[in-house]
Structure 1
């Protein structure tokens, strides 16, 4: 194969304030899974940089759970569709597909023999369904709730029992199979967010927005006790997860804590404090073998430490919103990937291990549109918040002073040695030196789309509709010497090769064009292949290849001088087009997309 996927740095879960997030765990204890957009993300619990993404849903996926056998995963989406698919094959073949309810699915539970499943959520005519996984035929009637059902669980041994928790503040208790309504527990006075049976089936707990956790008998459904007396948490409780030995459980709350409970004694053994910010509210948790996981509203996944409750062992960060731009910087023999997303968030990744973090301090407040690294070891970013930021890569924190405010929204940024940067804004081109504006071109008579500085700092190229304007940089000015290049269509991206020999462009005419600088910008190559608008391009470090990504979901790698030779990465990100590209080295291409994940590909020519 001319290309293969080397690493997937997956997105974080997509979170919503006040909405519980279900994390699934595999029965063997190796993986955990969650959802973001139309993707189900499976991650290795020991090494979360190992990830797999399932992308077959047509609508936003809300929940995914492993079957107790471990061979299948059931995932449900906002349209009410359940897909049951294979976990053992890379292709994740679809086994069955059903639409048990006609609205958003909130939770899924399997019986311990992996034969029956319960699905609950927001239906139009019913809020729940219990059926045989291989035929879809009903094995009971889950009724008795007046509002949508948030949570469901099934006792993992016979006689089976089923419990549901609903927005009508009630918990439903059912015996089966076939499952029949037994009675309602009305001891909560707010939404019931989570119900979970202990692994040994002796108890189940109900957790609610009223801050209470009630413990009930697993066979009869009678209330036994409550955890922590009147209230278990100061805030609403969104999720609970039992220990494998059924003696303890963890609970995640909007009060920004996770508590570890001794269920027999009814007391909290440990309280994990996860911060003071709104984004530190805890909306999901999972107890998997020895790992205790919780999910913050920010999407961060926390590995909790029983010995040090105020500091997680580690926190998995990343993006939960679409990534718009990416660049790679090598320092001390290691490659680091920098990615900027739609919500203004910038993350950096160790390209080998996937270890990542974000810059500290206050950064961009809106979409990061483009980023480049300068020879001074700075990450230069332009954003829809009308600023250019210069962030020291070594310090890893935003500087309040290294910000250049633009008069208009910047679309692209380019840098050259000697502290030069070029910002192309809507209706304006700005030249900066040492982070200060030194020259502005207004009243252009054309709409500038994207710019590029020649690596020797002598020329600024600005692309627009059908033309590229070449300005010479003389002292602190941009001089228009009337040099233009004709192109077809609107230029969507452009870049000089690192040796300055070539200028590459992509445009709405679906062509990638390479101009030879030394030959007076004559056309060296034209590459045809995209069947929709290409939006991004990147030069490989050897200056012999360019990669282009387009709205047709394709990524092509082209070789200079050989317009017929191309490597085609089909569906690099399956559901979305690639929004930005960067080369880590001449055989490793980094791609990012609206699925909020970062992928690295090994390219073989």
Structure 2
């Protein structure tokens, strides 16, 4: 057996209310760069499956920008560290790592030669630093501010200039290089959220929480003018220049995006997005020659074509938080549940994601299970079972007796939920049976072929017969070394795999009620998920140790390790295609990305 990474369905940018989120784009193509958790993501707007992730940071990342040459990326994190790494090839070789300031970095910028970087943010000794990308040596001082710096921009033409914007309502203009204080600009009356130089270097613009927009001379820092007509009604969080330096786009917390003509300083187009808090616009960038990308607080990337339309031409969605569970919905789609209570439906081939609409969960989703047709059932920390049909939640909803931990659906449509105090059976939104247990159920699995229900506990798996009305225990299978955390029947119901908190997976013969092997023990952390191929010949496992393993039921000594499949741990695995000699496995976890692995099964 062998594998390769076929595609990555990327997470959405991480956002926070009232905080400007920095996006970056490569002007030569449709790729944009942003951060989520400890990952840096380079995403192709035209191909959702063609994403690249970088996971070299120890702390949560805050901003990333590609160098003008296109060869390197500089990414920063909440600890004040900047890492410079190679974007050419798959190795992502580290060029340098530098401790820049003592706190969170909010923004950074390259100079026009791709040699110098200025990083700014919140520090004790200083709020910003200018340094060489290859050695980390200082190349000037960023001074003049007395509060957190929110943004920095560098003129890419000689003579070099740099502008920084901060919570002290000031813009500091620097000469360079080496960079040094030249003048203080007092145009804004509140926090200055963003400052950006035009590609031509002739001007730079600033926006702030006072809803004001100013344009300045790029060489001298003199104020050229203020935009006064058709201005935003809320804090302006980001601005970005068109490639020809003739237009400026701004994004605001009033849920609007505006395109401005620089010469007349008037709004050419205004786009309004929704009417709720999640529609507030917190970041933007200009991708390629025509596409404007604005970021919603919800994480949605709104792509506008400035030539037409009063709505986004496309909306690109994705999870912002940890993916806890995935489940098949049809041969071409699957769903993913996240730590913020949202469920997304993915197109398995393209990677396009759509939010499930309607009254969903209010907190972390703990499990998903496929039912008949394209129905999916979900459970969460809000102690409810909910039903998904199509791209919507149905009105069907059931409260659980205690906190749900695992869910599975039997062939007759009965939904089984393992809870802290027992196991419930629900059919047609009605409780049909409740099993009170003397132990704490940790996982549940229902066979699709035979009426057998498996319930996991500490070091045991209990098999029950289900007659449609009552669960009757048949046998208790032992062999696991810890709490049974994942269970899965093979499609024909003859085999049962049981993973536990120690990283061990036990393979059982269901009919003979005995252990086939206890040698599937390569994981070093809790097994979170198990999934069988359609022919029942191979089982995939995902673990807290970040790894995925493919196990052979025919040759129990044969396996494929997929190391570091998801930074922070793999929470769920699912075969989205497993016919013939090639299968496709989806894995998802703490980094909020879904990865598709192409597995070749050798005869």
The residue that corresponds to 1:339 in the other structure is: 336
Aligned-residue CA RMSD (Å): 1.6
**Shift in Å, 1:518:** 2.3
* Contact in 2 for aligned 1:525/1:560 (Cα 8 Å): no
**Partners of 1:551 and 1:135 in 2: CA distance:** 36
The 5 Å alignment of 1:421-432 reads 421-432=415-426
The residue that corresponds to 2:301 in the other structure is: 301
The 5 Å alignment of 1:260-279 reads 260-279=259-278
**Partners of 1:35 and 1:21 in 2: CA distance:** 9
1:578 is aligned to 2:573: no
The 5 Å alignment of 1:330-409 reads 330-331=330-331, 335-392=332-389, 395-400=390-395, 402-409=396-403
The residue that corresponds to 2:322 in the other structure is: 322
Structure 1 gaps of 5+ residues are none
1:540 is aligned to 2:533: yes
What is the CA deviation profile of residues 431-474 of structure 1, one whole-angstrom value per residue up to 9, with x for unaligned ones?
122231011122x2111111122224522221111222222223
With 465-474 and 410-419 compared, the bigger mean Cα shift is at 465-474
**Partners of 1:457 and 1:235 in 2: CA distance:** 60
**Partners of 1:465 and 1:140 in 2: CA distance:** 60
**Shift in Å, 1:170:** 0.5
The residue that corresponds to 1:446 in the other structure is: 439
The residue that corresponds to 1:563 in the other structure is: 556
**Shift in Å, 1:307:** 4.8
**Partners of 2:179 and 2:440 in 1: CA distance:** 66
The residue that corresponds to 2:114 in the other structure is: 114
The 5 Å alignment of 1:203-242 reads 203-229=203-229, 232-242=231-241
Given the superposition, is the C-alpha separation of residues 311 and 176 from structure 1 closer, same or farther in structure 2, using an over 3 Å criterion? same
**Partners of 1:360 and 1:464 in 2: CA distance:** 35
**Shift in Å, 1:178:** 2.3
**Partners of 2:100 and 2:505 in 1: CA distance:** 48
The 5 Å alignment of 1:403-418 reads 403-418=397-412
* Contact in 2 for aligned 1:174/1:183 (Cα 8 Å): yes
With 594-603 and 136-145 compared, the bigger mean Cα shift is at 136-145
The residue that corresponds to 1:176 in the other structure is: 176
1:244 is aligned to 2:243: yes
SS at match of 2:278: helix
What is the CA deviation profile of residues 385-415 of structure 1, one whole-angstrom value per residue up to 9, with x for unaligned ones?
11111211xx321112x11211111111111
The residue that corresponds to 1:436 in the other structure is: 430
Given the superposition, is the C-alpha separation of residues 48 and 470 from structure 1 closer, same or farther in structure 2, using an over 3 Å criterion? closer
Given the superposition, is the C-alpha separation of residues 219 and 475 from structure 1 closer, same or farther in structure 2, using an over 3 Å criterion? closer
With 521-530 and 590-599 compared, the bigger mean Cα shift is at 521-530
The residue that corresponds to 1:462 in the other structure is: 455
**Shift in Å, 1:137:** 2.5
**Shift in Å, 1:362:** 1.6
TM-score, structure 2 as length reference: 0.96
**Partners of 1:420 and 1:175 in 2: CA distance:** 70
**Shift in Å, 1:308:** 4.9
* Contact in 1 for aligned 2:450/2:493 (Cα 8 Å): no
The residue that corresponds to 1:525 in the other structure is: 517
**Shift in Å, 1:509:** 4.1
**Shift in Å, 1:123:** 1.4
**Shift in Å, 1:326:** 0.7
**Shift in Å, 1:3:** 0.7
* Contact in 1 for aligned 2:330/2:374 (Cα 8 Å): no
* Contact in 2 for aligned 1:493/1:536 (Cα 8 Å): yes
Given the superposition, is the C-alpha separation of residues 137 and 518 from structure 1 closer, same or farther in structure 2, using an over 3 Å criterion? closer
SS at match of 2:143: coil
**Shift in Å, 1:148:** 1.2
Given the superposition, is the C-alpha separation of residues 510 and 64 from structure 1 closer, same or farther in structure 2, using an over 3 Å criterion? closer
- Which of 531, 547, 552 is the matching residue for 1:554? 547
**Shift in Å, 1:134:** 2.5
**Partners of 2:373 and 2:51 in 1: CA distance:** 34
Given the superposition, is the C-alpha separation of residues 522 and 596 from structure 1 closer, same or farther in structure 2, using an over 3 Å criterion? same
**Partners of 2:365 and 2:276 in 1: CA distance:** 23
What is the CA deviation profile of residues 502-531 of structure 1, one whole-angstrom value per residue up to 9, with x for unaligned ones?
121112343211221222x12223222222
The residue that corresponds to 1:597 in the other structure is: 593
Given the superposition, is the C-alpha separation of residues 176 and 507 from structure 1 closer, same or farther in structure 2, using an over 3 Å criterion? closer
**Partners of 2:510 and 2:473 in 1: CA distance:** 17
* Contact in 1 for aligned 2:545/2:570 (Cα 8 Å): no
1:476 is aligned to 2:469: yes
**Partners of 2:493 and 2:185 in 1: CA distance:** 73
Given the superposition, is the C-alpha separation of residues 426 and 69 from structure 1 closer, same or farther in structure 2, using an over 3 Å criterion? same
**Partners of 1:508 and 1:226 in 2: CA distance:** 61
**Partners of 1:531 and 1:112 in 2: CA distance:** 47
* Contact in 2 for aligned 1:321/1:343 (Cα 8 Å): yes
Q: How many aligned residue pairs are there?
A: 594
With 239-248 and 463-472 compared, the bigger mean Cα shift is at 463-472
Structure 2 gaps of 5+ residues are none
